[in-house]
Amino acid sequence: MDLPGPPAVGAALRVRAGHPAFGYPVAEEADRVLVARWYRRRHGVEVPPEWVMLLPFGPGTAVRLLLEAARPLSGPAVCVTPEWNGLARACRAAGVPVREVPLVHAPDQRENAFRLPLGGIAAVRPGMVLLSSPNNPTGLLWPAGDIRALARTAAPGLLVSDEVHGDLRHPDAGVPHPVAVAVTDGAPNVVTLNSVGKTFNLSGVPSCLALVPDPALRARLAEVMAGFGLWEGGLLGALVQRAALAEGEEWLAGLLTRLVTARESATAALGGAVLARPQASFLLWLDGSGLGTREELLTQRHVELASGFDFGPAGSGCLRLNFALPPDRLRTALTRLTCATTS
Ligand SMILES: Cc1ncc(COP(=O)(O)O)c(C=O)c1O
């Protein structure tokens, strides 16, 4: 996001920087409880604090290490495409066979333009299912019943639900955010990943959290981490996560209001190119056929969008706009995108 983050985080960092020692932090029970309270307040679900793993790296690394911890898989890993590409990339890096199954596109239904390909995933007999939920790049929330079906399809392998955009559910989304841990009742084969990175614009800080109901998997993940010299708790990650979750909620409410306003401007301006109306986050998935390629837009109109190719095979011909911008900058971007020639 090209927006300032919560002031409480900078304040907490300044205070901590005044302390003379930085050696060997460990995960604190109070931080697991803070996460559990966040889930109760924001998502109405009871998460036992012992399920919370506080990880000193980003969600992409968490996926990679989960793949290590879950080996051997009984079948290929399945990623639903388009996705932010970190999921399929982690599988390839781990040498795990991966199948990218495209979302089902129903262009006539603007509200539910994309659906999860439940049949296509089951047909692959996956050893693990990796889901971006809400989906990056479309900003769509998946129905609770579909997430339950995926958890059953993946069993006894894992359903990894990457929910790093989930706390950015739009207040007018009209449906609850189906948090996997809630809708699957804490099934032992469902792992949720989340972080304060997207929610509070803190992605430069190596930190995320995993909700892991299965104690054996928690132990295995901790062992894999130890093999890389990593352990739960990290000075910087713990500090910013604590400040954001404990003191950032008012800031988040303001942000969500701004995102809804920005979404409305962007969808109105880009009209027929909009492939899905986002229910969460700050991303707009666009049909590039009437707009041009990423390179053309960058060089001729000086607006940088992400190329659909980055999101897997199903992204071909598409573009992704990030609308988390100050209003004047968003207006400029939309004007440049919609005018016939370079200004
Ligand atoms: C769905 C999803 N998961 C994980 C990540 C990685 O998050 P970070 O860049 O905060 O490490 C991203 C980043 O774009 C994402 O969109």
Residue among 79, 84, 177, 320 to mutate when testing ligand 1 (max atoms within 8 A of CB): 84
pLDDT in tens, 6-20: 999 999 999 999 999
Alpha-carbon gap, residue 74 to 192, rounded angstroms: 21
Q: 239 and 261, same structural domain?
A: no
Where a domain ends, among 247, 278, 302?
Answer: 247
pLDDT, position 175: 86
Q: 279 and 165, same structural domain?
A: no
**Closest Cα to atom 11 of ligand 1:** 58
What is each CA distance from 340 to 79, 199, 305, in whole angstroms?
37, 35, 17
Indicate the pTM of the whole model. Answer: 0.97
CA-based nearest residue to 192, from 219, 162, 158: 162
Q: Confirm whether 63 is domain-assigned.
A: yes
**Closest Cα to atom 10 of ligand 1:** 203
Q: Confirm whether 87 is domain-assigned.
A: yes
| pLDDT interval class at 109 (50, 70, 90) | confident
Q: Are 281 and 137 in contact (CB under 8 A)?
A: no
Q: 197 and 299, same structural domain?
A: no
Pocket of ligand 1 (CB under 6 A): 58-60, 84, 86, 132, 136, 162, 164-165, 195, 197, 203
* Look-up of token digits 């390179």: 295
pLDDT of 111 strictly over 80: no
Q: 199 and 269, same structural domain?
A: no
pLDDT, position 177: 87
Residue among 64, 201, 203 to mutate when testing ligand 1 (max atoms within 8 A of CB): 203
Mapping DSSP to helix (H, G, I), strand (E, B) and coil, where does residue 79 land?
A: strand
pLDDT, position 336: 97
Where a domain ends, among 219, 247, 275?
Answer: 247
Q: 254 and 243, same structural domain?
A: no
pLDDT in tens, 61-108: 999 999 999 999 999 999 999 999 899 999 999 999 999 999 999 887
What's the average model confidence in pLDDT over 215-235?
Answer: 97
pLDDT in tens, 293-335: 999 999 999 999 999 999 998 999 999 999 999 999 999 999 9
> How high is the mean pLDDT of the chain?
96
Q: Which atom of ligand 1 is nearest to the CA of 84?
A: 16
- Which CATH number do you get for residue 73? 3.40.640.10
Q: 174 and 132, same structural domain?
A: yes
pLDDT of 343 strictly over 80: no
Angle between helices 235-247 and 7-17 (to 10 degrees): 140
pLDDT, position 110: 64
pLDDT in tens, 122-154: 999 999 999 999 999 999 999 999 999 999 999
CA-based nearest residue to 164, from 196, 128, 140: 196
Q: Confirm whether 343 is domain-assigned.
A: no
Residue type, 167: D
Angle between helices 235-247 and 29-43 (to 10 degrees): 40
For residue 262, which phi and psi values (nearest 5 degrees)? -65, -40
Q: Which atom of ligand 1 is nearest to the CA of 83?
A: 1
Listed in sequence order, the DSSP H helices in 155-302 are 180-183, 196-199, 215-227, 235-247, 249-270, 294-296
Structural domain range at position 316: 249-338
Q: Which atom of ligand 1 is nearest to the CA of 61?
A: 11
Q: Confirm whether 2 is domain-assigned.
A: no
pLDDT of 234 strictly over 70: yes
Q: 28 and 104, same structural domain?
A: yes
| pLDDT interval class at 342 (50, 70, 90) | very low
Q: 199 and 112, same structural domain?
A: yes
What is the chain's length?
Answer: 343
Q: Confirm whether 200 is domain-assigned.
A: yes
Residues 6 or more apart in contact with residue 60 via CB below 8 angstroms: 86, 89, 90
Where a domain ends, among 228, 247, 266?
Answer: 247
Cα 342 to middle of ligand 1, angstroms: 32
- Which CATH number do you get for residue 294? 3.90.1150.10
Q: Confirm whether 123 is domain-assigned.
A: yes
Q: 151 and 257, same structural domain?
A: no
Cα 200 to middle of ligand 1, angstroms: 13
How many structural domains does the chain have? 2
Cα 318 to middle of ligand 1, angstroms: 19
Cα 164 to middle of ligand 1, angstroms: 7
Q: Are 6 and 244 in contact (CB under 8 A)?
A: yes
Q: 187 and 92, same structural domain?
A: yes
pLDDT, position 340: 58
